[in-house]
A and B are shown apart, each in its own frame.
Chain A
Amino acid sequence: MIGAGHAGLAVSRFLGGAGIDHLVLERGEVGNSWRRERWDSLRLLTPNWLTRLPDHPYQGPDPDGYLSAHEVADFIGGFAAASRAPVRTGTEVTSVRAAAADGQGHGHGHDGYLVRTDQGEIRARCVVIASGACNVPVVPGFKDALPDSIRELTPFDYTGPAALPEGGVLVVGGSATGVQLAAELRRSGRPVVLSTGEHVRLPRTYRGRDVLWWMQASGVWDQRHDEVDDLERARALPSPQLVGTPERSTLDLNALIELGVEPVGRWAAVRDGRALFSGGLRNVCSLADLKMERLLDTFDEWARKYADDDLTDEPQRFAPTRVPASARLQLDLRGGEIQTVVWATGFRPDYRWLDVPVLDAKGRLRHVGGVVTDSPGLYAVGLPVLRRRKSTFIHGAEDDAREVVEHLTGYLAGRH
């Protein structure tokens, strides 16, 4: 196992249950990404009642609340301890390669894997990649054309508003990270411009319940990778515009506009020190409005068929996004209006240590439901829509881990 995040530990739990000898290698500490790679104010956007790992539900006093990053790390630490996971912390994997099979020609078949770490070498029959889907912030290529006077931050560098210079901030990206940071920076008194392309709009609560209750109850989240219409698109979907706060308030573009955040289109290029934004803001907003409505229709249909009448309030519909009559198409980055750019433009995994040719042209791992079919004995967990829509979420790890371990035990027993 590479990585002691919740996904790797969930796999470890099932491996232990199946009596399979294994090790979990972790470069930092258990739940490292929640300790090192999250900003100060971050809370989960998934509510506590959803926060559960195999045989390890949240058991605190506030099922409707949202854990802070440190609480998540502690929750994962508690799970590791309860499962007696064989974790080796402070052990960074530097290379994984196929071990040549004795008596066979080059490139044909292999006998497990050679795992090199900064603490020595390990031979393994199987390797499960659980090193996370969000190891490196993704930043657009035109970043280099920004004037030197602009301070740039990724979500990994960002701690909170206090660490930023005074003055305006351009937040780039309309997913959960972007809307959360835009709101926080605006509340700190700074002028904030939010550049957004396609995004996923959701209300925090719907018909009196957390919108994620609906995702769960209606079965949308359980939709499997082999049932999804366009798997590639589903895997590239940005995170929804949600934030976990005690007030359970919605944080869509309308809420941000209310706060005084100025929305602009997708940032397309830098020319002569000016940021150029797409004129397609209206369309990405109507796409988001329409997709939200379709999802709410799905919920309503589910409720009509399956929910008790007293289970939920009446159906609701939300006002369309109030796109500004004329959103700005360009912004002079040398004019002083913007001091800081925050790149909330997504994350990607880091596979630099993976010396097995299983990445596609875009650097993504080729796998079918977490089984790396091109290299028998190699598995992955924790990637977007690995086996289900809920795959990357904490509560989504259990079903995926169980099934991946089923495949793995079958492989070890010589069944595939």
Chain B
Amino acid sequence: MTTVTNGVNVQALLDAREVLKGAPEAAQFTWRASSTWRDGVHSTTTVRDFFGLGEERSHKTESVFEADHPEVFAAEDNGITPIEYLLVGLASCLTAGVASVAQNRGIQLRSVQSTVQGRHDIRGILGADSDVRNGFNDIKVTFTIDADASPQEIEALVAQSQKRSAVFDALTNPTDVTVEVA
């Protein structure tokens, strides 16, 4: 068997799966982000610390995300719109899934590209029509994958990556959300 190098340490993931089967407490993670209002609809959100495997942890560096609205919304456009961050999350999550599943299945990837498109009727957020929802009407992700695999195997990679995707699940299933004032 040739060695596939997609750069994913699948063995570590499989080992973790075995260990966590018997230790569900350790599998409990909390992800965090902190946001500060700048001006107008511009805010800055930073992400660094999280909790997992029983203790507080940090990313190697802090990441900073600017969110704003485009000029057509009469805003300054200091960053992408919040809803676009969902597309970033979905694309990166599915892509990570494709790489991991490919590694696990012994499929060498050469390139993985995707475009994500979320259709959005903004009459919802503007309150212009109460029958229109605030969020996306639908989302379409299109992958272009070059790999040592049959078209059917590639289809299966993409299907399996959705099955194991945190963001796909978070977007397609309801989540209990609490928003409070401290």
123-175 of chain B: CB within 8 A of chain A: 138, 152, 155-156, 159-160, 162-163, 168-169, 171-174
Majority DSSP secondary structure for residues of B touching A: helix
Q: What's the A-B contact tally at a CB cutoff of 8 Å?
A: 38
On whether the beta carbons of B152 and A278 are closer than 8 Å, the reply is: no
On whether the beta carbons of A279 and B163 are closer than 8 Å, the reply is: no
Residues from chain A with a CB closer than 8 A to the CB of B169 are: 280
On whether the beta carbons of B156 and A290 are closer than 8 Å, the reply is: yes
Interface string of A254-284 (1 = CB under 8 A from B): 0000000000011011010000101110010
Residues from chain B with a CB closer than 8 A to the CB of A278 are: 172-173
On whether the beta carbons of A268 and B138 are closer than 8 Å, the reply is: no
Residues from chain B with a CB closer than 8 A to the CB of A152 are: none
Q: A286-B155, A290-B156 are in contact. Are A280 and B138 (CB under 8 A)?
A: no
Which A-chain residue is minimally distant from B176 (CB atoms)?
A269
Contact of B173 among A198, A268, A361 (CB under 8 A): A268
Residues from chain B with a CB closer than 8 A to the CB of A279 are: 171-173
Which B-chain residue is minimally distant from A270 (CB atoms)?
B174
Size bracket of the A interface:
10 to 19
On whether the beta carbons of A287 and B163 are closer than 8 Å, the reply is: yes
On whether the beta carbons of A286 and B159 are closer than 8 Å, the reply is: yes
Question: Shortest Cβ distance from A232 into chain B, in angstroms?
Answer: 9
Residues from chain B with a CB closer than 8 A to the CB of A268 are: 173-174
On whether the beta carbons of A283 and B174 are closer than 8 Å, the reply is: no
On whether the beta carbons of A276 and B174 are closer than 8 Å, the reply is: yes
User: Knowing that A290-B152, A290-B155, A293-B152 are A-B contacts, what are 14 other residue pairs whose CB atoms are under 8 Å apart, sorted by A's residue number?
Assistant: A265-B172, A269-B174, A276-B173, A276-B174, A278-B173, A280-B162, A280-B169, A283-B162, A283-B168, A287-B159, A287-B160, A287-B163, A294-B156, A361-B24
Judge whether A104 is part of the interface by a CB distance below 8 angstroms: no
Question: Shortest Cβ distance from B120 into chain A, in angstroms?
Answer: 15
Which B-chain residue is minimally distant from A288 (CB atoms)?
B159
Residues from chain B with a CB closer than 8 A to the CB of A286 are: 155, 159
On whether the beta carbons of B172 and A271 are closer than 8 Å, the reply is: no
How far apart are the CA atoms of A269 and B163 in the complex, in Å?
Answer: 19
Residues from chain A with a CB closer than 8 A to the CB of B171 are: 279
Residues from chain B with a CB closer than 8 A to the CB of A283 are: 159, 162-163, 168
Q: A287-B163, A326-B138 are in contact. Are A280 and B155 (CB under 8 A)?
A: no
Majority DSSP secondary structure for residues of A touching B: mixed
On whether the beta carbons of B173 and A290 are closer than 8 Å, the reply is: no
Interface string of B25-39 (1 = CB under 8 A from A): 000000000000000
Count how many chain B residues have C-beta atoms less than 8 Å from C-beta atoms of the other chain: 15
Which B-chain residue is minimally distant from A285 (CB atoms)?
B159
Residues from chain A with a CB closer than 8 A to the CB of B174 are: 268-269, 271, 276
How far apart are the CA atoms of A214 and B149 in the complex, in Å?
Answer: 27
How far apart are the CA atoms of A283 and B169 in the complex, in Å?
Answer: 11
7 tightest Cβ-Cβ pairs between the two chains A and B: A279-B172, A280-B172, A268-B173, A283-B162, A269-B174, A276-B174, A287-B159
Which A-chain residue is minimally distant from B22 (CB atoms)?
A361
Which A-chain residue is minimally distant from B139 (CB atoms)?
A279
How far apart are the CA atoms of A361 and B24 in the complex, in Å?
Answer: 10
Residues from chain A with a CB closer than 8 A to the CB of B159 are: 283, 286-287, 290
Question: Shortest Cβ distance from B71 into chain A, in angstroms?
Answer: 31
> What are 22 of the A-B contact pairs (CB < 8 Å)?
A198-B163, A265-B172, A268-B173, A269-B173, A269-B174, A276-B174, A278-B172, A279-B171, A279-B172, A279-B173, A280-B162, A280-B169, A283-B159, A283-B163, A283-B168, A290-B152, A290-B156, A290-B159, A293-B152, A294-B152, A294-B156, A326-B138
On whether the beta carbons of A280 and B156 are closer than 8 Å, the reply is: no
How far apart are the CA atoms of A268 and B160 in the complex, in Å?
Answer: 20
How far apart are the CA atoms of A280 and B156 in the complex, in Å?
Answer: 15
15-51 of chain A: CB within 8 A of chain B: none
How far apart are the CA atoms of A286 and B159 in the complex, in Å?
Answer: 7
Residues from chain B with a CB closer than 8 A to the CB of A266 are: 173
Which A-chain residue is minimally distant from B24 (CB atoms)?
A361
Residues from chain B with a CB closer than 8 A to the CB of A287 are: 159-160, 163
Which A-chain residue is minimally distant from B161 (CB atoms)?
A283
Question: Shortest Cβ distance from A163 into chain B, in angstroms?
Answer: 32
Which B-chain residue is minimally distant from A276 (CB atoms)?
B174
Question: Shortest Cβ distance from A215 into chain B, in angstroms?
Answer: 21
Question: Shortest Cβ distance from B118 into chain A, in angstroms?
Answer: 12
Chain A CB count within 10 A is highest, among B138, B155, B172, for B172
